[in-house]
Chains A and B, each alone.
Chain A
Amino acid sequence: MRTVTIDKNAFRRFVDEIIKRQRVIGVCAKGDRFDFEQLESADQLRLDYDVTLQPPKKYFLPPVETLLTFEVGDGYKSVYDDTPFVLLGVHPYDMVALNQLDTLFTQDNYDTHYMKRRHNATIVACDVVSPSKNVFASSMGTATVKDGFDVLLTDIGNAFVMESGSKKGDRFIAKAQGAVDSSEKDLQARQKIQAENEKRLNNHKLKCEASYLPKLLERAYDHPVWEEKAKTCFSCGSCNLVCPTCYCFNVQDDVNWDFISGKRQRAWDGCLLDGFTKVAGEHEFRKKRADRFRHRLYRKCKYVPEKISSQIMSCVGCGRCVGACLPDIANPVKVYNRLVDDLGIK
């Protein structure tokens, strides 16, 4: 697998070439913020962005998708999204999140809808240039990423270093006119940037090693912080919906006017929402706000990492929930630090 250097003008031409042949989704400005959008020209691309409004998961698990259509007496037909695409500019913490989703969507039940899109994607990750206001990826060990991407880009000033991480990545890089094998100097420049990012993407500082969190949470179930914080929680689910590792969904059928055919759709759900745990007979087992509030923070740094045997937590430190929460209670670092203060590190 190759690592090449390409100057920025050549890179722009290269992106324009890909746009002619394929659907390319990249990071663009959206007002004074940024988000992933389909590119029409390489000029729209903003690889110096801080954080996107939405995480890239929506290209694999859309907010709403049709899973199948059915007709009584005629069975059902699965509906798949089958267009290949390039996803350009995924930050390391979001790449780590996608790697986790890949494990989750293949672990118990292989999710064909998610995986079809995943196989169709060429993911070009990129090292962070401008840290966002709330990022704390350094605390979570996700400021850089070693695998999962097809290509990893690093901005070293007047050029990008492009590392291939897969066969798809090799083919991608092979098409880049003007790319040359990276010099020792370029690789050192990249190394320096990554080493710095591992420290500086840290606008909220966790007071313990991230890998200690599952053990800390073992002792925190009845801590007063859950009630205290949840007092002002709107149960609006914003913290779930902007999170790159939240993957819960709800499935609903809609029947057509002929009353024999229809479609089955799934839509994002969130564990903070009232009604999330409602089951048959209207029984709801996490009716209290505090229970739902606690659940998310347990899920991020205990339940999911344990489920997928990961040393890296399911909060990847993107900081999106911090900015999305109107009453400012969702910041995982603030809650975990409070637990460290009160319960100590044992």
Chain B
Amino acid sequence: MDRPRVAIFDFACCEGCQLQIVNLEEELLDLIDNVEVVEWREAMSEQSREYDIAIIEGSITRPEDEKRLEIIRTRAKTLIALGACATIGGINKLKNNFEMSDVKKCVYGKSADMPHLETMPTKAVDEVVKVDYKIHGCPIDRKEFTYVIRCLLMGKKPEIPEWPVCVECKSKGNPCLWDYGQVCLGPIIRAGCGARCPSSGFRCFGCRGYIDDPNVNGAKDVIERYGLSVDALKAKMVLFGIGQGPTNA
């Protein structure tokens, strides 16, 4: 088969997810054998204008980024959002809690009004263009990434869990952290990470985004039963919970 042409682009992010790809080790060779990487700033200098698969890392935080992303979309047959920044806006959505002018002043000080420093409320990739597949997590899971790519190469729909983190947590036999006073977001967050955080004793803070149909009534009921307030829950969700849309692709 012709090797599909793949391009990887980064927007506002820490590039940690690309680093996960670089760190694939032996699987990186399998990947390179099966696709032709035509653009990838993190690992090569060539640039291209045509690609079968565009992989987008990072969230959209400036008007010019929106235009750049739209152009990428027109050139790509398939578009993948990579990592929490791209799939749900990620950490960058914290900024949406503030006025944009204040944000600019805080970051750029006196230069805040320079025209090239225009900013806007953070958007996830699918708030700007159509996304075909999402690879969740902050950072992404390497195994899940290569699985999705293999599925794409076979023309098969990857199976990304629609169920919450509790499923993986319970399969591992973990005691529930709620019983130990932690406000764990597991019941409303998409599984797929193998319940990474609760398995190490830390509550899930939601980096894989909500499941398709999170039960808000359930969440309210539980925080009341555990003697917490809705504000307490919101406070726990700031890192990844702001203005999130559905996370299914």
Task: Give the chain B neighbours of A33 by CB distance below 8 A.
Answer: 175
Q: Which of A53, A58, A64, A232 makes the CB contact (< 8 A) with B218? A: A232
Task: Contact check, A238 vs B170: say whether CB atoms are below 8 A apart.
Answer: yes
Given A54-B173, A233-B215, A252-B159, does the pair A273, B222 have CB atoms closer than 8 Å?
A: no
Task: Contact check, B175 vs A53: say whether CB atoms are below 8 A apart.
Answer: yes
Which residues between 199 and 228 of chain B lie within 8 Å of chain A, taking CB atoms? 211-215, 217-219, 221-222, 225
Which residues between 252 and 292 of chain A lie within 8 Å of chain B, taking CB atoms? 252, 254-255, 257, 259, 267-268, 270, 273-275, 289
A interface bracket (residues with beta carbon within 8 Å of B): 35 or more
Given A237-B166, A273-B167, does the pair A257, B34 have CB atoms closer than 8 Å?
A: yes
CB proximity of B36 to chain A, nearest CB, Å: 15
> Interface 1/0s, chain B 133-176, versus A by CB < 8 A?
00000000000001100100110000100111011001111111
Task: Give the chain A neighbours of B83 by CB distance below 8 A.
Answer: none
> Interface 1/0s, chain A 222-245, versus B by CB < 8 A?
000000000111111110011000
Closest-by-CB residue of A relative to B166 is A236
CB proximity of B168 to chain A, nearest CB, Å: 9
Which residues between 195 and 245 of chain A lie within 8 Å of chain B, taking CB atoms? 231-238, 241-242
How many angstroms between the C-alpha atoms of A324 and B222 in the bound complex? 13
Task: Contact check, A31 vs B175: say whether CB atoms are below 8 A apart.
Answer: yes
Q: Which of B166, B188, B212, B213 makes the CB contact (< 8 A) with A238? A: B166
Which residues between 36 and 71 of chain A lie within 8 Å of chain B, taking CB atoms? 53-54, 58, 63-64
- A35 close to chain B: CB less than 8 A: yes
Task: Contact check, A255 vs B218: say whether CB atoms are below 8 A apart.
Answer: no
B interface bracket (residues with beta carbon within 8 Å of A): 35 or more
How many angstroms between the C-alpha atoms of A263 and B31 in the bound complex? 19
How many angstroms between the C-alpha atoms of A259 and B34 in the bound complex? 10
How many angstroms between the C-alpha atoms of A9 and B171 in the bound complex? 35
The total of interchain contacts (Cβ-Cβ below 8 angstroms) comes to 97
Q: Which of B164, B174, B217, B225 makes the CB contact (< 8 A) with A236? A: B164
- B186 close to chain A: CB less than 8 A: yes
- A328 close to chain B: CB less than 8 A: yes
How many angstroms between the C-alpha atoms of A116 and B14 in the bound complex? 49
Closest-by-CB residue of A relative to B219 is A234
Task: Contact check, A237 vs B221: say whether CB atoms are below 8 A apart.
Answer: no
- B30 close to chain A: CB less than 8 A: yes
Given A234-B215, A236-B187, A238-B170, does the pair A275, B221 have CB atoms closer than 8 Å?
A: no
- A307 close to chain B: CB less than 8 A: no
Task: Contact check, A289 vs B175: say whether CB atoms are below 8 A apart.
Answer: no
- B108 close to chain A: CB less than 8 A: no
Task: Contact check, A236 vs B163: say whether CB atoms are below 8 A apart.
Answer: yes
Q: Which of B150, B188, B215 makes the CB contact (< 8 A) with A255? A: B150
How many angstroms between the C-alpha atoms of A21 and B102 in the bound complex? 70
Task: Give the chain A neighbours of B70 by CB distance below 8 A.
Answer: none
- B27 close to chain A: CB less than 8 A: yes
Q: Which of A35, A236, A255, A327 makes the CB contact (< 8 A) with B173? A: A35
Task: Contact check, B163 vs A274: say whether CB atoms are below 8 A apart.
Answer: yes
How many angstroms between the C-alpha atoms of A30 and B175 in the bound complex? 9
> Interface 1/0s, chain A 4-33, versus B by CB < 8 A?
000000000000000000000000001101
Task: Give the chain B neighbours of A238 by CB distance below 8 A.
Answer: 166-167, 170, 176
Given A30-B175, A235-B215, does the pair A328, B225 have CB atoms closer than 8 Å?
A: yes
Closest-by-CB residue of A relative to B186 is A236
- A79 close to chain B: CB less than 8 A: no
How many angstroms between the C-alpha atoms of A268 and B163 in the bound complex? 12
Q: Which of A31, A53, A64: most chain B CB closer than 10 A?
A: A53
Task: Give the chain B neighbours of A324 by CB distance below 8 A.
Answer: 170, 176
Task: Contact check, B176 vs A270: say whether CB atoms are below 8 A apart.
Answer: no
Task: Contact check, B167 vs A234: say whether CB atoms are below 8 A apart.
Answer: no
How many angstroms between the C-alpha atoms of A54 and B175 in the bound complex? 9
Given A30-B175, A33-B175, A238-B166, does the pair A274, B215 have CB atoms closer than 8 Å?
A: no
CB proximity of B57 to chain A, nearest CB, Å: 22
Task: Contact check, A63 vs B186: say whether CB atoms are below 8 A apart.
Answer: no
Q: Which of A54, A63, A235, A327 makes the CB contact (< 8 A) with B225? A: A327
